[in-house]
Every structure is written in structure tokens, then in C-alpha cells.
Amino acid sequence: MLLKFLNLEIKSFFRGTSLGINLTMKILRFIAILYFMGCLVGVAFLVFMYVKNEMHQDPLKVVSTLLLLGWVTDLAIKYLWQEIPTQNIKPFLTLNIKKSTLVNYLLVKTFLSALSWLNSLFFITFSGIALFYGYNPIGILSWLIGISALFYLNSFINIFLNSTEKVAIAAAIIVAIVSALGYYHIIPILSYSETAFYSLYEKPYFALIPVILFMIIWFFCFKYIQKEFYLDQGLEAKKLIGKTENIAFLNKYGVIGTFISNDIKMLKRNKVTRGILFGSFMFLFYGLLMYTSKAYKTPAMTMFMGLFVTGGFQFLFGQRVPAFDSSYYPLMMTLNVPYKEYLKAKWWLMNIVTGVSIILASVYTYFGWEIYVTFFAAGLYNIGVNSQFTLWSGAFNKTQIDLNSKEKRFGQKNSFNLKSMLLMIPKMLLPMAVFAGAKSLFGITAGVISIAILGLIGFLLREKIFEIIVKHYKKEKYSTLEAFKNKD
């Protein structure tokens, strides 16, 4: 039966109305997967040799020490990006197929995702190198089996986390508390990690613990999905009681205020948009990479970090205009909606959040005033220049976004566009080049002033630029409408 299901998946792919786009994206994803496969294999080799030859420590112990952090990171990545493949199963519920078979197929299918098995390449390669250097074969095999079981376990935990946001929030709070206790050396988390994971090598029978845990979680996950597995329950979007709210102070700003009010309500009410807010908040911590890489301390990369720290919301939200409105965009285009005010509302909302991000980024004064003034200049560039180029790139983004969907994909089949890629030059490369050149020739003050001037020029010319942006939105109007209407 499993092979029949897989055969149907292949047929549905080749019979789809968007075969060309699907095939192109599959090829691009395949190339990306091959790239990451090569990276993981290479990283396993480099880590082993560096720890052994440079640090003169036991590579297996060092990796075991960091595995708990890796496990939590893997779970977070799966929660953010791994999809729960339920929708493709719905048509089979009306057929004479055992529900247990369908549920098991759904659980097995989660392991076909690259996010599930890619990390195994690191552990397999690392284990092979360890065997080459004379480690105990039985111990290495039990270590590999135990680690693999724990990491594959995350696919099941991800299903429970997606069942309700309260579970995910509770898990995030627990991780944050434990991380804080470990960071301040109240609890030796890394020592516990080394002891627990290295024991899989020293005492091979300990590998039975993660394997048994894997089977137990599989059972509970099976029961949970089976209970919810009906056409009118579990698989459909949850129906919530409608709520109305009025953001009164925005009314005095006319049409722009109305659009901003609608966007704020959308950001608060939908899971997808709340994910955008969470991602924007996480971008504020991007500057912490200075701790881990000397490369990020160069002028160009410092500016790069500043653009992301202050412009996270802008990049995540702005380039998805008007995709967030795709469900009612065709209706909106039949009404007398002032296009310029519609886009200006998005622009003001992005810049308000960017301004807040600039203020929050003041914590980077801990690294020195040069870092913060660089981030401050990057924020001004985001407000004056990038906000408009980001809206411009949105004109070429014809990806539908279902605000009631549980999908985790950041990009979909229509999101890749050469024009959007070309707009990355003035958004990222130009400020990096200008800041690096000015700072190296005339110092930090000249670098900051040059970027601030570019932002000011962009802000002063915003009306002229908006006319160009509106023109492109109108030019792309009908192809965008066709893309939003085509559910395939």
C-alpha cells in the first residue's frame, strides 16, 4: 500500500497544471539538497580533523557535548519549515482504506522530507571517519543509532507542537529557561549533554533508550492523528469566533490609516503573519554573529548585519505585498482602491517597525559605538531606500499566501523571479560597497554619513519613486490576478 501511495504522488506531480514550474522548482531544490549534502559531509570531516589535530581532544566527546544544542536547533528548524503532509491524504478518507494505514503513511512521509534526513549525512560521515581512526565499531554503531533515533524523533514532536500554539510557546519557554541556566553556569547543560550522548558509545546497550522512546512517541503520535483524522475535524482550518476591533487613532489619517489598521489586524490574527512578526524579532539577534565569526567584523559585513537587524520585518513583510492580500486581491481590484495609498500604507507600516528596530538595536552599543552607529545608518538606509525597493520587488511576487494555512514554506513555486533578484543589488550590495569604501578611505564617520545621505535622498525622492512603483504594480496587475486565481 505504501508503494501505491508513492506511485500516486508521482502521478499527481506529472499530471498537475503547473508541471513546468513544479519541475523547475524540483530541479532547483534538488541542486540545493545536493549542495547541503556536500556541505554536511565536508563539515563532518573538517570538525573531526580540527578537533583531533588542532584542539587535541576526542572528536566524539566534543560533538557529544554540542549534540543537545544541535537537537534543539533541529527541532526549531522543523517547527518553522517542515510541513505536515495532511492535505494530500484527505481524498483517501472516503475510500475503503484502513485509517491506520493512512496514518502510518502520513508518519512515514515525514521522513521523506530533506529536513528529516539531511542531518544524518553528518552523523554517518562522522561515524565513518571515527571507524577509520580506530574507534570501537559496536560503540560507534550504537552511538549512530541512538543519535539518529533522537533526531528523527523531532518529526513527531513537531506534529504535537503544531497542534496548538500554546504547546509551542510552552516548549519555547522551557528551552529559553534551560538555555539561560546553562549560559549562566547554574546548570552544566553541556556537561550533561556530553555524559548522555557519549554513554551511547561507551555503553552500547544505552542505544535502546532512544530507540524505545522513538517507538513510544510514534505510538502516541499515531493515536493522536488517528483521533483527529476526519474530513470535518483535524484536517480543516479551525473556525474561530469573529472579532471586531477598531484602532481609532488611525482613522484621522484617512485611507492610509484604514489600510494600516487592516494590516495590523491581519498581523495579529493569522498564524502565518504572526510567524512573520516572530521572524522579524529574531532578526534583531542577527548581529550576535559577531561573537562567532571574524568575517562579520569587516565593514561590509557589519553593514550587512545592520541591514538585517533593523530591516527584518521589512524584508519578510514587504516583499510579500500584495501576496498577503491574495485571497481578496481580485475583489479589491474591482473597487476604486487608490493604488498609491494602498502601497504607502504598507510603506509607513514597514518604516514604523524599522524605526522601533533601530531603537531596540541600541543594545549593540555593548559591542561599541561604532557598531551601533553603523546599524543606525543601515536603519536610515532601510527607511529611505530599501523600503521602496522592497515594495517594488513585491510587484513581481505572485505567490499565493493562505493565511489560514499551517504551511511553513517561506517561498513557493512562483516566488523566484529574476527581477526581484536584481533589486537585491541596490538593497544590499550598494550600501555594503559604499560603507566599506568610505570607511576604509575616510573613517567610520564618513561611512556612516554616506549611508545616511543615501537614505535621506531616497526619502526625499519617495514620491517620484512611488510613481514608478505604482506603474510597475499596474503593469503586473493582470498576471498577478491570474496567479492568485490559479489555485495550482
Residues 215 and 255 in one domain: no
> Three-state DSSP class for 230?
strand
Tell me what pLDDT residue 308 has: 85
Residues 283 and 197 in one domain: no
Tell me what pLDDT residue 172 has: 81
Residues 57 and 156 in one domain: yes
Final residue of a structural domain among 196, 228, 260:
228
Residues 201 and 270 in one domain: no
Neighbours of 38 (CB within 10 A): 11
The boundaries of the domain holding residue 266 are 248-485
Tell me what pLDDT residue 241 has: 44
CA atoms within 13 A on the CB side of 324: 26
Tell me what pLDDT residue 61 has: 93
Final residue of a structural domain among 195, 228, 261:
228
Q: By C-alpha distance, which of 80, 94, 279, 72 is closest to 177? A: 72
Residues 221 and 256 in one domain: no
Question: Would you say residue 3 lies in a domain?
Answer: no
Residues 163 and 289 in one domain: no
Residues 42 and 191 in one domain: yes
Residues 130 and 68 in one domain: yes
Question: Would you say residue 130 lies in a domain?
Answer: yes
Q: How far is C-alpha 402 from the geometric centre of its chain's CA atoms?
A: 17
Question: Would you say residue 289 lies in a domain?
Answer: yes
Count of the separate structural domains present in the chain? 2
Cis peptide before 322 (omega within 30 of 0): yes
Measured N-to-C along each axis, helices 19-53 and 2-15 cross at an angle, to the nearest 10 degrees, of 120
Question: Would you say residue 13 lies in a domain?
Answer: no
Residues 331 and 451 in one domain: yes
Tell me what pLDDT residue 15 has: 58
Tell me what pLDDT residue 328 has: 72
Residues 98 and 139 in one domain: yes
Question: Would you say residue 181 lies in a domain?
Answer: yes
Q: Is the pTM here over 0.75, yes or no?
A: no
CB pairs under 8 A, 24+ apart, for 172-176? 175/72
Residues 158 and 224 in one domain: yes
Residues 50 and 173 in one domain: yes
pLDDT averages per 10-residue partition of the chain, 488 residues: 66 54 65 85 92 91 91 85 64 75 81 83 94 94 94 87 75 84 83 92 93 92 79 48 53 72 77 76 75 64 86 82 75 73 86 90 84 89 87 74 53 44 70 88 88 90 86 79 67
Question: Would you say residue 430 lies in a domain?
Answer: yes
Tell me what pLDDT residue 37 has: 87
Question: Would you say residue 186 lies in a domain?
Answer: yes
Final residue of a structural domain among 228, 258, 286:
228
Kindly write down the DSSP assignment for every residue of 127-195, as one continuous string.
Answer: HHHHHHTT--HHHHHHHHHHHHHHHHHHHHHHHHHHH-HHHHHHHHHHHHHHHHHHHTTSS-HHHHHHH
Whether the CB-CB separation of 389 and 423 falls below 8 Å is answered with yes
Question: Would you say residue 84 lies in a domain?
Answer: yes
What does R_g of the chain's alpha carbons equal in angstroms? 25
